[in-house]
Structure 1
C-alpha cells in the first residue's frame, strides 16, 4: 500500500509516496524551500507544490515542527511563523490540496514512529528517545513501544538557553562549530535528557544522521546506547504516511 507523506521543516518541505509494506519511499522525494517567513499560507502553497509534483490524488500525511493537538490544531511554532498558533492545519492543508484527506502530526513523533516500526527502534522495549537535529531539536519518547506525544525536549533549558539554540544542527552552522565542539554540546544535552528520563536507547535523527560517524564516536559519558536513525532524514515522510494510513 502507498500513502503520500510530507515532512515540513524550518528550511525545507519534502515529500514522496511511501511504500508502507517496506517502510521506504516508493519514489525519489521532491523538496521545495520553506518560505520565509513560514506563514500558514506560504507553507500550504509549498505542500501543494510537493504533492502536485507527483500528481497524487489520495490521502496525505503531513508533519509539522511543533505541537499538534487533536490531529489538527497547532499549539507551538518555534521555527515557523507565530501565526501558525491555533491554526487548524488539517482544514488548511485539506483545502489547499483540493479536498484530499489529510492528517497532521508532530514531525519528531512521525520520525519516531517510523524508526520504532521499521528502523533503529524496532523490537526495542523500555524507554527509547528519538532526537532529530535540524533547524531545531525535535523529540519523540516511547515507553515499551508506546508514543508519549508532543514532548518537545528541544526546548529544555541548557546553560541558560533553549537546548536547540545551542545544540541543533543549525546552531553548529550558525556558530561555525567544528564537529568536536558541536559533539561536546550534544553530549551535554544528552546527559541532561538522560538525567530526566533514563532511556535505554537514544536514536539520533534529522539530516545530520547521515554524518553520524563524524560526531557520535566523540560523545562520551552517556550511559544509554546511542545509534543513528536508520531511515535518516526520510523518517518523517514515512511516519507521516503511516499516521495517515492508520486514520483512513
Structure 2
C-alpha cells in the first residue's frame, strides 16, 4: 500500500492506495499557513498517521503539489502567491527518515498520470487542462513534458491581453466564472446552480456560461495547435459537469482555429478531483 498526498493552496487531500487502485483512509484537511513550515509538518503528521493506522513500515509516498516542482530533487522551485513561503521546500530530504521512496510532481502532472491509468494502451498523447482557481496544463507523449525549469505547459499564462491586463486563466478559470456570476446576480449563485439554470434554459445563465465558454475554448485551440494531442482532458472541480461542460465549450473551439483544422477529442477526467492522488503513486504500480 502506498501513501498518496495532494497539496493544494486550500486543502491537503490524502489516502492510502492498494495494488487494485482502491483508495482507503481518505482525509481532507485545510492547508496550514506555511510561514513556519506548516505544510511539511502536516505532511509528516499524515504519513505518521497512516503508518500507524495501516501498520506500514517505511512506506512509499507519492506527493502531488501546487507550484513548480523539480521532480529529481523533490523540491518546490516556485510557488508564487498561491502558497507563501513554499519555495525551497524539499520533500525527499525532509521525509527520508520516515518514508521509503518519495516521488513528487506538480499537481497537474500528477492528475494526468492518474488519468493515464485509464488510457495506457489506447492513447499515446494526452493533454490535461485543469480548470479551477487558476488554469494548469500537463502533456504526456511517451513521458511527461516537464521543460528545462520544470515549467512546461503553464498554459494559464497564455493569451495575455495588455488592455485588460488579463491572462487566459484570468478569463477562463472557475474564479473568473464566479466573478462573472457576481456581476450579473445580486443573490448568491454557485457554479453548480448556474449550470442547472442554464440547462433549464435560463437566458441569463446561458449568456454567462457562453461568455465564459468562449474564453475556455480559445485556450483549448492554442493547446491543439501547439501539441496536436489525441485527447484533451478537462479536470478540476468543474469537470463534474461532464457532458454538460463539453457540450458548452466544444462548439466554440473551431472559432479559434483555421478553417477545417479539426481538434482532439475533448473529455472530462474519469477520476475527477482524485486524479492527482492516484497519479501521485502511479509510478509505484508500473
- CA change 1:13–1:195 in 2 (3 A) is same
Paired residues for 1:103-142 under 5 Å: 103-116=103-116, 118-119=117-118, 121-142=119-140
TM-score of the aligned structures, taking structure 2 as reference length: 0.73
1:72 aligned partner: 74
- CA change 1:31–1:242 in 2 (3 A) is same
What per-residue deviation string (whole Å, max 9, x for no partner) do you get for residues 171-193 of structure 1?
A: 32344374333322211111122
Q: Is the 8 A contact 2:235 2:268 kept in 1?
A: yes
What secondary structure sits across from 1:122 in the alignment? coil
- CA change 1:196–1:83 in 2 (3 A) is same
Matches of 1:64 and 1:79, distance apart in 2: 14
Paired residues for 1:90-109 under 5 Å: 90-92=92-94, 94=95, 99-101=98-100, 102-109=102-109
* 1:212 equivalent in alignment to 2:249: no
Q: Considering only aligned residues, what root-mean-square deviation do their CA atoms show, in Å? A: 2.5
Matches of 1:169 and 1:238, distance apart in 2: 23
2:170 aligned partner: 165
Matches of 1:51 and 1:182, distance apart in 2: 40
TM-score of the aligned structures, taking structure 1 as reference length: 0.82
- CA change 1:152–1:9 in 2 (3 A) is farther
Aligned-pair CA distance for 1:103: 2.3
Matches of 1:154 and 1:203, distance apart in 2: 14
Q: Structure 2 stretches of 5 or more lacking a match?
A: 183-207, 255-262
1:230 aligned partner: 270
2:38 aligned partner: 42
Q: Structure 1 stretches of 5 or more lacking a match?
A: none
- CA change 1:172–1:140 in 2 (3 A) is same
Q: Is the 8 A contact 1:131 1:137 kept in 2?
A: yes
What secondary structure sits across from 2:267 in the alignment? strand
Q: Is the 8 A contact 1:73 1:88 kept in 2?
A: yes
- CA change 1:109–1:8 in 2 (3 A) is same
**Normalized per residue, which structure has more strand?**
1
Q: Give the aligned length.
A: 236
What secondary structure sits across from 1:188 in the alignment? helix
What secondary structure sits across from 2:78 in the alignment? coil
Q: Is the 8 A contact 2:139 2:153 kept in 1?
A: no
Structure having the higher Rg = 2
Q: Is the 8 A contact 1:13 1:34 kept in 2?
A: yes
